[in-house]
Amino acid sequence: MTQMVEQTRFQKRLKREKNLFIPFIMSGDPTPEATVEIAYTMQQSGADVLELGVPYSDPLADGPTIQEAAGRALSQGMNLTEAMKLVPKMRERGVTIPIVLFTYYNPVLRYGLEAFAKAMEENDVDGLLIPDIPLEESEEIREFTEQYGVELISLVAPNSEERIKRIAEQAKGFLYCVSSLGVTGERKDMNPDIASFLEKVKHYSQVPVAVGFGISSYEQVKLVQGHSDGVIIGSKIIKLIDAHREALSNETTRAGALQELQSEVEQLVKGNE
């Protein structure tokens, strides 16, 4: 019998390691009930991993689209505790892909590091992404995510240079490559040096390399897929959802809106196939 390292929840749920589609949605935007349904719709649209955003008052890494989504979610009373509680509901609804919680660090500190890691395990959260802790500040939370079987997702940026190796070697789940300098949100043009940056990252990474920040069209998806293992789409998804805000908020019109959303997302990631 061969000795097997026990797989994490994330690894068990991840069905492939190529051409990954990772959408970002904001908990509670437009409503907590809608978020559960949107998560399922993302899976139906071909999502391989779901990034579930937790709204924060001061989202430093985010552009206007995600800031506004966070603002709407906060005014709905959404927070870290409530966002985690959505995950079991998503599982009940049939979401089987890995779910990665995206939260800034301050709410996590306020919750308590170990209590939070434990709550993620209890709520069946598979991964954690904290955009405002670089490798140097990640030791404390990493101890607890490892203890409770949660993959701590790392980020690398085009200016990470000699840090790429160190970050990539620690990477769990998937490695998040920031496409170009700046905050989240649409960009007209992709970073022209992205191919060489991604080659370098892939050289050191043991996990799938996915690219995010500014990907908002099928052309960009295709371009990035060619050089990496997947795409992360946030602001564009938030905009598509926001266009159906009213219909999604209302139970009687939700199903129709979800259907439209599904075809729009499919078109974004698969083109007019």
Partner 1 sequence: MSVVYPDNRGRYGDYGGQFVPETLMAPLKEIEDALNEAMKDESFQKEYRNELEHYSGRPTALTYADQLTKTLGGAKIYLKREDLNHTGAHKLNNAIGQALLAKRMGKKKIIAETGAGQHGVASATVAAKLGLECKVFMGEKDIERQQLNVFRMQLLGAEVISVSSGDKTLKDATNEAIRYWVAHCDDHYYLIGSVVGPHPYPKMVRDFQRVIGDETKRQFKEKEGKLPDRIYACVGGGSNAIGMFYPFLEDDVELVGIEAAGKGIDTPDHAATLLNGTQGIIHGSMTYLIQDDHGQIVEPYSISAGLDYPGIGPEHAYLHSSGRVRYESITDAEALEAVKTLSQAEGIIPAIESAHAIAQAVKEAKQMDPSETIVINVSGRGDKDMNTIMEQFQEG
Shortest distance, position 182 Cβ to partner 1, whole Å: 3
Among 28, 32, 131, 208, binds partner 1 (CB under 8 A): 131
Closest CB to partner 1 among 112 and 256?
112
Of 37, 48, 62, 151, the catalytic one is 62
With H, G, I as helix, E, B as strand and everything else as coil, classify residue 171: coil
136 is catalytic: no
Among 7, 92, 94, 181, binds partner 1 (CB under 8 A): 181
Closest CB to partner 1 among 134 and 149?
134
Q: Which span sits near partner 1 by CB under 8 A: 10-18, 103-111, 229-237, 239-247?
A: 103-111
Closest CB to partner 1 among 158 and 262?
158
Per rule CB under 8 A, is residue 269 in the interface with partner 1? Answer: no
84: region left, alpha or beta (phi > 0 left; psi from -120 to 50 alpha): alpha
Q: Which residue has the tokens 């649209």?
A: 45
State the helix-helix crossing angle for 64-75 and 235-243, rounded to 10 degrees: 50
Per rule CB under 8 A, is residue 28 in the interface with partner 1? Answer: no
Contacts of 216 (CB under 8 A, 6+ apart): 186, 187, 233, 235, 236
Per rule CB under 8 A, is residue 79 in the interface with partner 1? Answer: yes
**Residue 148: Cβ-neighbour burial (10 angstroms; 0-12, 13-18, 19+):** middle
Q: Provide the 8-state DSSP code for 5.
A: P
3-state secondary structure 220-256: HHHHHHHHCCEEEECHHHHHHHHHCHHHHHCHHHHHH
| Window 185-244: residues binding partner 1 (CB under 8 A) | none
Shortest distance, position 81 Cβ to partner 1, whole Å: 7
As a whole number of angstroms, the distance between CA 170 and CA 172 comes to: 7
Closest CB to partner 1 among 16 and 110?
110
Tokens, residue 82 = 């409530």
Per rule CB under 8 A, is residue 157 in the interface with partner 1? Answer: yes
Residues annotated as catalytic are 51, 62
> Rule CB under 8 A: which residues touch partner 1?
56-61, 63-64, 67, 71, 74, 79-81, 105-111, 131-137, 155-157, 159-161, 163, 167, 178, 181-183
